Structure formats: structure tokens, C-alpha cells
Amino acid sequence: MKKIFSVFLMVAVLLGLVACASGNALVTGTQRPATNPESVVIYTEAPEKYEVIGIVNASSDATGSAQTDLNYAVAELKKQAAKIGANGIILQDVSSSSGDGILIGNVLVYEDKQKVSGKAIYVFGKE
């Protein structure tokens, strides 16, 4: 019975470690109709003519590489921006943090969390 429980626990932990991203959006300007997340452009500097729609945040705590986790977080950031009608995001912060370790068998796996945030914007002239 103890072995079955151990296997069940291990499977549950592994399922919990699959890519998981979450995010939110705070509307601070005029919300627009939703856009396609794939068309949202990430900017490191403000484009020439734009309007701020809101602030978006996202994080990913998958157990892949830091780059994979960051990719999931950026995809979620785009989804959040698209929901409020943005066609661009001015990236403001990219950070990572280490969470608690999880013991899987005899291996200690640390959960890293990648976080991204920015201004959700509508760029004029991209229609």
C-alpha cells in the first residue's frame, strides 16, 4: 500500500510541475475590442504613436528551462493584453525567483518562477 501511495504522490507532483502560466490585466485607459494574442507585439521602447490601455502581468512556474518558462509567461502576457484590446506591450519588468524545492524520489527539484509585466498599449498605424 505504501508503494502505491508513493507512486501516486510522484505522479501527482509531476502533473503539478507541468507548464503553468497565469496572469492578469488592469485597465487604466480605454478598453478596446479583444485582439489576437499572436498579433500582439512586444516593445522594449515606446513606439512613436500609442495609447496606454492598461497594465499586464504574467508568470510561469513550470519546471522546464528558464527560457521555456519565460516563453510561457510572455505568451500569457500577450493573452492578457489581447483580452483588453492591446496590439502591443511595452515590456517593463522581467524577473525570476526560486521557490521551494520538491523531493521527487531522491532528487530535489527547485521550482523557478519567471515573471513579466508591461504596459498594454494600442499602437496607431498598425491597423
- 57-112 confidence digits (pLDDT tens): 999 976 678 888 899 999 999 999 999 999 999 999 999 876 666 667 777 666 67
Residue 82, Cα to own-chain centre: how many angstroms?
13
| Whole-number CA gyration radius for the chain | 18
Dmax of the chain from CA atoms? Answer: 65
Q: Which three cell numbers stand for residue 21?
A: 502560466
Lowest model confidence (mean pLDDT) among 17-26, 86-95, 115-124: 17-26
Lowest model confidence (mean pLDDT) among 25-29, 51-55, 92-96, 97-101: 97-101
b/e map 70-105, b = 16+ CB within 10 Å: bbbbbbbbbbbbbbbbbbbbbeeeeeeeeeeeeeee
Contact between residue 29 and residue 85 where contact means Cβ atoms under 8 Å apart: no
For residue 90, the model assigns a pLDDT of 98
What is the average per-residue pLDDT within 110-120? 87
Global confidence as pTM = 0.75
Q: What is the pLDDT of residues 1-15, one digit of tens each?
A: 555 544 444 444 444
Q: Which three cell numbers stand for residue 10?
A: 510522484
What is the average per-residue pLDDT within 12-40? 82
For residue 100, the model assigns a pLDDT of 61
What is the average per-residue pLDDT within 20-33? 94
For residue 123, the model assigns a pLDDT of 98
